[in-house]
Amino acid sequence: MARNNSIFLEIVAPTGIIFAGDVDSFSVPSYNGTLTILPHHTPLFTKLTEGEVRVNSENKDTTLVISGGFLEIKNNSAHVLSDYAIRAENIEMAKSEERKRQAEQKLKEKLDVLDFTTVDKDLKMSILELKVAEKVRRRHGA
């Protein structure tokens, strides 16, 4: 259970638990804009869009990328379920750039609607990963 002035946050993807712990606040991307969640938030269930998740805990910031998903909050506990999630420090720039290049190349081909949607999502996620990783690296002077 969360500390007195914190909320428990768990971010889960098919690969496992990406983040779990007591936090002071966190922000997630929703279809209505960014939601910032503080301790003792009212119960909530909402759909999330792809974007950056910012976690603040005891003066330490953690940044993650998610591909969308769902957020559920109840009893001072929050759970994010996503098809894909990665911590910013684990993003491999070279792999993201290669996935971006491959997606751009595939978009030049004639694709059916399903293939186009998949490739378009891959392109958006690789661009998002690169932006977030670069922003975090600049913030930390790396």
The Cα-based distances of 88 to 1, 64, 130 in angstroms read 26, 5, 9
Residue 141: per-residue pLDDT: 66
CB-based contact 42:72 (threshold 8 Å): no
Residue 29: per-residue pLDDT: 96
Q: What is the value of pTM for the model shown?
A: 0.77
Give the integer Cα–Cα distance in Å for 105 and 102: 5
Residue 122: per-residue pLDDT: 80
Averaged over successive runs of 10 residues, the pLDDT of the chain (142 residues) comes to: 81 95 96 95 96 91 93 97 90 76 79 78 81 79 60
C-beta contacts of 22-25 below 8 A and 24+ residues apart: 22/57, 23/55, 23/56, 23/57, 24/56, 24/57, 24/58, 25/55, 25/56
Residue 126: per-residue pLDDT: 83
Token representation of residue 139: 């913030």
